[in-house]
Amino acid sequence: MIEFILNNKPIKTDQPTGSLLLDFVRYEQSLMGTKIGCREGDCGACTVLMGELIDGQMNYRQVTSCLTPLGNAQRKHVVTIEGLNMKSLSPVQQFMVDESGSQCGFCTTGFVVSLTQFCLANSIPSYNDAIASIDGNICRCTGYKPIERAAKHITESLSDKDHNETLNWLIAQQFIPSYFNQIQDKLDALPKGDNDSQNGTVVGGGTDLYVQKHDQLIDQNVDLITNMPNLNFIKIDNGICKVGAGTTATDLMESDIFISAFPRLKAHLKLVASSPIRNTATLGGNFVNASPVGDFTVFFLALNAKIKLTKNSDSRSIYLNDFYKGYKDLDKSSDEILSTISFKLPTQDSHYNFEKVSKRIYLDIASVNTAIQLTVSKNKITESHISAGGVGPIPIYLRKTCDFLLNKALLPETVQSAHKILQSEIIPISDVRGSADYKRLLLRQLFYAHFITLFPDQFSLDSFK
Amino acid sequence: MKNIDSKGHVTGKSIYLDDIPIIQGTQFGVVFDSPVAHGTITSVDYTKALATPGVIRIITHEDIPGQNQIGGIISDEQLFASTEVHFVGQPIALIIAESDQIAFKARKLIELEIAKKDVIVNPREAQQIDQLIVPPRTFKLGDTENSWGNCVHIFEGQADSNGQEHLYIETQGAYAIPMENGHIRISSSTQGPTVVQRITARVLGVGMHKIEVDVVRIGGGFGGKEDQATPWAVMAALGVSILNLPVKVVLSRLDDMRMTGKRHPYSSDYKIGFSKDLKIIAYETTFYQNAGAAADLSPAVMERTLFHGTNSYFIPNVKMTAYSCKTNLPPNTAFRGFGGPQGMFVIESALSHAAKELGIPTHELQKINLLKNGNEFPYGQIADGVELNSIWHEMESKFDIGSIEKEIDEFNSNHTDVKKGFSLMPVTFGISFTKTPMNQARALVHIYTDGSVGVSTGAVEMGQGVNTKMLQIAACIFSIDPKQVKLESTNTTRVANTSPSAASSTADLNGKALQKACNALLERLKSCAADHLKVSSTDVTLKDGMVYTNENKTDLTWHQLVMMAFLKRICLTENGHYATPTIHFDMTKEKGHPFAYHVYGLALMQVTLDCVRGTYEFDAVKIVHDFGKTMNPSVDFGQIEGGLIQGMGWMTMEDLRYNNQGQLLSNTLSTYKIPDIYSVPKTVTIEPLETNGSDLAILKSKAVGEPPLMYGIGAYFAIDNAIKSFNPNFTSTFDAPFTHEKVLMGLHGSLDFE
């Protein structure tokens, strides 16, 4: 039995936990404002809010309901456009009207829901965050400029927001209906969900699984990572950072530990998917999915990360690099669950960078991605880890290139020689994301980009001529 | 006035096809299509699919009571393939089940065997073996053959532009319900309700009067729902006629992308010659249009390519030939611009090519050759009301092209890893359906006895704001509060024999028809008021809901006048009919006056390239546009911004890919990318040019739907320009779109790797 609050209505349903939130709101609840655009999380027309009680405060994130297993709504507050409507338009709605932010209107509710999430965020509002909130919403009519203008006005209208009293302030200013301040009590009153294994497919955020296996999943009771205890944490233990496999991309992006360890974290993770996808996609899911261009896999390979695989009370640890045996072939038995990722925190001398190029810069799958971690002491490379995706059947840890760089001087000649070795470690194929020739050239450029970005005083494109 | 639908849109209360409440007994249809691009069906076994619990029926060509034929211009396309399949995604059957999930599952159980035949995906290959949709057409002006000798500079080359997926966010769909006496009512997400009605009647073998098609609005069309909304509606209606139950067919995104045609890819050759002072003397081009496997609208699209092949330039000697080549791709179809953009891309490529060889900026060549009043278009129409020179002048004075160029040069000499580029893109676009008989429309107006007004037209609202414009017209003529006017759904029983909402002319045609209807009603009401007030009806005016005589307000209100007219048994309903005057075209001579008027504009586009990664960002787009006298700035500016970005998407990231077996590789939103909010230019500035408009434009407010898409072509040439400043040896390939891949290869060349 799944219990949650849908807008202002308590829901108790015995639909399969693997069925989709989108179908539930549209076809079981007849809330037709949530639209179906693609059913793969790439358009945002089905965006809804998921509110959760965290440390005594409601925390709302936008998700694509087309990829959200209904079971993940357990004990949450799900808000559709209908749940945002009041007698008069909210400022978000009014600014969208005033700026003609809607033409055919099919994508519009998704934008309104996402922009409302921006208003609900317990942080200081900025225009960049307003735009980031709609980075998963696609509009084919307006060219976005009017929506940008609406976002600007919305940001300005939040300038007096009381961040300690976000909900009450928003209710008073009629951004959201007044029932929002009763949700916390209603959620508290719901019975704590059971976590019994359903012996179904294990699903993390589902953001890739539902694209690939939609038909198999929607009828089953799946095992949801988000309902498993102790899989969502980020902590430091003796200089080792440990991350639960159920941690979402957004959790990482907002983690103080990660922000201080990776100064460019936000820019890096902005290249990964979109806000609604990052809100649900889990680290473990990305690893197990075994995509040859998995962004997080590439990110963590360059941290020389280890993973812990758990089976009942047994567990074993292996290097992430050894997890991938071949295309979509993992060193993991079907009853093992990837539970924890751990890596040594970067030191003062170490430098980290992540690069990704795709057909569209944001909200796209990489043509090629790569990450590097270099430790440099007195202009000598003392440790190096480099990874690359999209250039072979698995995400590759470029071992020979790393070995070559070890104990070399940090000079353009070193990088150029290393690049020759790098090319011998990859076997890209031509596909819809680019020709093999392009991927080789692109990886060279991104390899150079690591050095240009990390050591701008020492490297530029001219260094490699 | 803001779009009248926007309040419904932001609250989620607007109703689209899939939001229509389901009637009891409704069944759901899923299309079973060919996995092979060309071949003969040797066997198909539905046994297992039919045995799936919940599957009601599988409908094939054998179940069609009328003609198995949905072709529009040419009868060359079956609704369901009978023996031959010609493209991947060609419908073979409709699985009808209690839910679409069941139907999807059953679809996997159908056993199909096809004897494969050779597949052609390249239009030039098709042309080589004379595989054409229609005979080629040639537009000629002057004499190119004898002009080359007079040219000082001659350049030849090839220019290709790829297709484009419409990606309306609402996929194709229809919902048909049985009425009494064998009548069927279809709700369809279509731009062409009459097309749906006509083809459904043909396939069902019944009169058009038995089929009612209703459209409230559609969630984006862009041409993709002009002809290609039809099959799904016909299938749903066919299901109704067989089962006597409501049937709904809504395509999943994957099915939609695989089964429907796109903007036509074109491959073209050009030859251009200049005088010593850089006037274009002669231009020859051959267009190879990739039509796909059936005609659809391809002959008309091809024709518009010829109409716009010289874009905004006067060329005294022109010869343009176009081939509509039959390949094994889904039939390509209308898409905003309708062949015009493809034609313009070629001449812009030719000019860019010439400019590089001549060592001058492209915009100098463009400016020298701009079209002027009195010039003859290659199709015989004499240019009139041309605004290009004043637009160019406006651009220079408002934005200072020279200083932008200088800033870019300075930036480029100071930066090694980042380069900037820019382009100018003039646009001249003809307004009218090029098939003259389609330039007609009707509007039906009811004034109810309480003074409120209901308006029906043939226009389909798809976000372009046509209903808002219609409402403005009615409210303005009656001088009443817009709240008293309602725009009804587009319905074939109220307004019949309509042209699709297309060719940028929906507001002109339907608006003029609506003006006629409203004016006729107004005259009747005025004369009724004149009788009552004992004045001449020419002295009567209506203003803000009140009757005036000789500018003096009377006590008579709009509402009272309407009731008075009703009691006097004066007809409060009127049907207006409009047909565009002056236009004609003779296809045997390829000459005439096909367009009511032209729309003009110019875009300046600035881009910054990341030469390390081969990515780019557009810094600014500045547009000077000839709106005439815009009747709704917020709607019209929205069309400019939206059209621009859609055109830029076509030229940059939208990378439509089929393999050589005719299978769509870019078949999802994760492999086919359209612009997101981060990929649009940082600033878009629109400078409206005050012009007189045209009497043939509604309220002198010129059509605005398609022209701005072609500003997007400038994106290609801005990138091209930036690459040249990084890599002087770069040879332009004129092969759109300019993907990140092509940019990086253009910057650095292929890697020597063994």
CB contact under 8 A, B169 and A37: yes
Q: What is the per-residue pLDDT across B467-526, written as a single tens digit (0 to 9) for each?
A: 999 999 999 999 999 999 999 999 999 999 999 999 999 999 999 999 999 999 999 999
CB contact under 8 A, B684 and A448: no
Residue type, B169: I
| Counts for chain B of helices (H) and strands (E), in that order | 18, 30
Q: Are B497 and B491 in contact (CB under 8 A)?
A: no
The minimum CA-CA distance between B413 and chain A, rounded to whole Å, is 14
Domain map (residue ranges) of chain B: 440-579
**Phi, psi at B696, each rounded to 5°:** -85, -5
CB contact under 8 A, A106 and B7: no
CB contact under 8 A, A144 and B611: no
| Cβ burial, residue B457 (10 Å; 0-12/13-18/19+) | buried
The closest of B704, B725, B720, B706 to B652, measured between CA atoms, is B720
CB contact under 8 A, A360 and B655: no
Among residues B284, B574, B590, B706, the one annotated as catalytic is B706
CB pairs under 8 A between A and B: 244
DSSP-based three-state secondary structure for B419: strand
How does strand B153-161 pair with strand B27-33?
Answer: unpaired
> CB-CB: which of B642, B666, B673 is closest to A141?
B642
* Exposure b/e, B488-498, CB count within 10 A at least 16 = b: bbbbbebbeeb
Residues with Cβ within 8 Å of residue B480, at least 6 apart in sequence: B451, B453, B542, B544, B545, B558
Q: Are B105 and B57 in contact (CB under 8 A)?
A: no
Cα–Cα distance list, A378 to A382, A405, A408, A414, B339 (Å): 9, 14, 11, 15, 62
The closest of A345, A367, A77, A23 to A215, measured between CA atoms, is A23
The closest of A382, A423, A428, A424 to A403, measured between CA atoms, is A382
Mean pLDDT score, B251-278: 98
> CB-CB: which of B645, B666, B745 is closest to A143?
B645
DSSP-based three-state secondary structure for A307: strand
Residue A197, pLDDT score:
67
Q: Are B299 and B334 in contact (CB under 8 A)?
A: no
Residue A149, pLDDT score:
98
DSSP-based three-state secondary structure for A138: coil
Consecutive sets of 10 residues in chain A, 465 residues long: mean pLDDT of each?
Answer: 96 96 98 98 98 92 97 96 98 98 98 98 94 98 98 97 92 98 95 70 91 92 84 94 96 95 94 96 94 96 97 94 96 94 93 98 97 96 98 97 98 97 97 97 98 97 92
The minimum CA-CA distance between B550 and chain A, rounded to whole Å, is 38
DSSP 8-state code for residue B534: T
- Residues forming beta bridges with residue A57, ordered by sequence position: A54
Mean pLDDT score, B280-293: 98
Mutation site, A27, A140, A358, interface B, largest B CB count within 10 A: A140
The closest of B654, B648, B641 to B705, measured between CA atoms, is B641
Mutation site, B168, B615, B666, B677, interface A, largest A CB count within 10 A: B677
Residue type, B605: M
Please give the structure tokens belonging to residue B531: 């009788």
Q: How far apart are CA A409 and CA A304, in angstroms?
A: 22
pTM of the model: 0.98
Please give the structure tokens belonging to residue A396: 């590759």
Q: In angstroms, what is the C-alpha Rg of chain A?
A: 23
Please give the structure tokens belonging to residue A246: 């159920």
Q: How far apart are CA A378 and CA A407, in angstroms?
A: 11
CB contact under 8 A, A438 and B744: yes
Please give the structure tokens belonging to residue B571: 């007809």
CB contact under 8 A, B638 and A100: yes
Q: How far apart are CA B123 and CA B112, in angstroms?
A: 29
Mean pLDDT score, B430-440: 96
Q: Where are the beta strands (DSSP E) in A350-397?
A: 350-358, 366-377, 380-389, 396-397
The minimum CA-CA distance between B9 and chain A, rounded to whole Å, is 5
Contact residues, chain A, for B616 at CB < 8 Å: none
Tell whether B136 lies on the interface with A, counting CB pairs under 8 A. Answer: no
The interface residues of chain A toward chain B in range 226-285, judged by CB-CB distance below 8 A, are: none
Percent of chain B with pLDDT over 90: 99
The minimum CA-CA distance between B19 and chain A, rounded to whole Å, is 6
Contact residues, chain A, for B19 at CB < 8 Å: 32
Q: Which CATH class is domain B440-579?
A: alpha beta
Mean pLDDT score, B105-113: 98
Q: What ranges in B438-543 are assigned the alpha helix state H? A: 466-478, 506-533
Residue of A nearest to B461 (CA): A104
DSSP 8-state code for residue A346: P
Cα B444 from chain centroid (whole Å): 25
Please give the structure tokens belonging to residue B453: 């007004």
Q: Is the backbone peptide bond immediately before B500 cis, with ω within 30 degrees of 0?
A: no
Residue B740, pLDDT score:
98
Cα–Cα distance list, B666 to B165, B254, B290, B670, B673 (Å): 10, 10, 17, 8, 9
Q: In angstroms, what is the C-alpha Rg of chain B?
A: 27
Q: DSSP string spanning B335-357?
A: -TTTTHHHHHHHHHHHHHHHHHH
DSSP-based three-state secondary structure for A380: strand
Q: Are A369 and A390 in contact (CB under 8 A)?
A: yes
The closest of A167, A120, A130, A176 to A152, measured between CA atoms, is A130
The closest of A349, A340, A346, A384 to A260, measured between CA atoms, is A346
Please give the structure tokens belonging to residue A236: 């430091």
Residue A348, pLDDT score:
87
Residue type, A303: L
Indicate the angle between helix axes A436-454 and B740-748, nearest 10 degrees.
Answer: 80
Residue A58, pLDDT score:
95
Please give the structure tokens belonging to residue B643: 């059209």
Q: How far apart are CA A420 and CA A375, in angstroms?
A: 21
**ipTM for the whole complex:** 0.97
How many CB atoms neighbour CB B124 within 10 A? 17
The interface residues of chain A toward chain B in range 53-72, judged by CB-CB distance below 8 A, are: none
CA diameter of chain B: 98
DSSP-based three-state secondary structure for A358: strand
Q: How far apart are CA B334 and CA B324, in angstroms?
A: 14
Residue type, B509: L
Please give the structure tokens belonging to residue A346: 């970067």
Q: How far apart are CA B253 and CA A330, in angstroms?
A: 31
CA atoms within 13 A on the CB side of B107: 23
- Residues forming beta bridges with residue A353, ordered by sequence position: A372
| Cβ burial, residue A435 (10 Å; 0-12/13-18/19+) | middle
Q: How far apart are CA B670 and CA A132, in angstroms?
A: 19
**pLDDT of B754 over the 70 cut:** no
How many CB atoms neighbour CB B724 within 10 A? 19
Please give the structure tokens belonging to residue A413: 């000649």
Cα B426 from chain centroid (whole Å): 19
Residue A193, pLDDT score:
63
Q: How far apart are CA A101 and CA B217, in angstroms?
A: 17
Tell whether A28 lies on the interface with B, counting CB pairs under 8 A. Answer: no
Mean pLDDT score, B571-589: 97
Q: How far apart are CA A37 and CA B670, in angstroms?
A: 13
Q: How far apart are CA B39 and CA B83, in angstroms?
A: 8
The minimum CA-CA distance between B82 and chain A, rounded to whole Å, is 29
The minimum CA-CA distance between B555 and chain A, rounded to whole Å, is 35
Q: Is B706 one of the annotated active-site residues of the chain? A: yes
Q: How far apart are CA B720 and CA A460, in angstroms?
A: 23
> CB-CB: which of A40, A431, A437 is closest to B668?
A40
Q: What is the per-residue pLDDT across B708-739, written as a single tens digit (0 to 9) for each?
A: 999 999 999 999 999 999 999 999 999 999 99
- Residues forming beta bridges with residue B185, ordered by sequence position: B177, B212
DSSP 8-state code for residue B330: P
Contact residues, chain A, for B222 at CB < 8 Å: 140
The closest of B139, B162, B395 to B262, measured between CA atoms, is B162
Residue type, B249: V
The closest of A362, A453, A269, A431 to B675, measured between CA atoms, is A362
How many CB atoms neighbour CB A317 within 10 A? 10
Residue A227, pLDDT score:
76
Q: DSSP string spanning B107-165?
A: HTT-EEEEEE------HHHHHHTT-BSS--EEEEES-STTTGGG-SEEEEEEEEE--B-
Residue type, B184: I
Residue type, B567: L
Contact residues, chain A, for B15 at CB < 8 Å: 32
Q: Which domains can be identified in chain A, with CATH numbers?
A: 2-189 (3.10.20.30), 230-465 (3.30.465.10)
Residue A272, pLDDT score:
95
